Amino acid sequence: MSEAALKTPARKARPKYMNLSALLFEIRMPVSARLSILHRVSGALMFAALVWLLWMLDRSLSSEAAFEKIKHYAGLWPVKLALLGLVWAYCHHFCAGIRHIFLDLEKGIEKETALLTSWISFAVSLLLTALLGWKLLW
C-alpha cells in the first residue's frame, strides 16, 4: 500500500440504495414516508409559485379591466391545470400538516394508526382538491 493511501483512507462508497433511481423505482416506501416527502415537495412548490399568485392578486385588485384580464387568464387550461396542482399542494400540505400536529401531541404514533392516518390524509386531500377545483376553477 502506498504512503498516500495510508494517510488518506479511501472514500467510503455510498450505500447502494442512496440514489435517486433506487429511491424512485426500487425502494418501496411506506405510505407515511410518501406523505412526508410530498409534504416537503408541496411546500417547496407553493413557495416557488407564491410570486405568481401574489402577482395575480395584485392585478385582480388593481382595476376592473385588469380583474377581467386575470379572470380570462385564469380560465386558460394550462393556467387552470397549474392552479389545480397548487390547490392539491395546498390541500396535501394542509392535511399532512394537521396529522403532523397530532403526531407532535403524541396522538396516533402507533404504527398501524400512523399508516391509517396517512391514507386518510391522502384521501381527504384528494377529495378536497376535487371539491375546490370543481367549485373554484371549473
| DSSP for residue 30 | -
Q: Would you say 63 or 113 has its CB closer to another protein?
A: 63
The answer to whether residues 67 and 60 touch, using CB atoms and an 8 Å cutoff, is: yes
Q: Least Å distance between CB 111 and another protein?
A: 24
Stretch that binds another protein, among 6-14, 16-24, 74-82, 96-104 (CB under 8 A): 96-104
SS3 category, 27: coil
The answer to whether residues 31 and 122 touch, using CB atoms and an 8 Å cutoff, is: yes
Distance CA 42, CA 45 (A): 5
Q: Least Å distance between CB 74 and another protein?
A: 11
Pattern 50-89, binding to another protein, x per CB under 8 A? Answer: xx--x--xx-xx--x--xx---------------------
Q: Which residues contact 45 (CB under 8 A, 6 or more apart)?
A: 85, 86, 89
27 binds another protein (CB under 8 A): no
C-alpha distances out from residue 50 to 14, 46, 55, Å: 36, 6, 8
Q: Which residues bind another protein (CB under 8 A)?
A: 40, 43-44, 46-47, 50-51, 54, 57-58, 60-61, 64, 67-68, 90, 94, 97-98, 101, 104, 132, 135-136
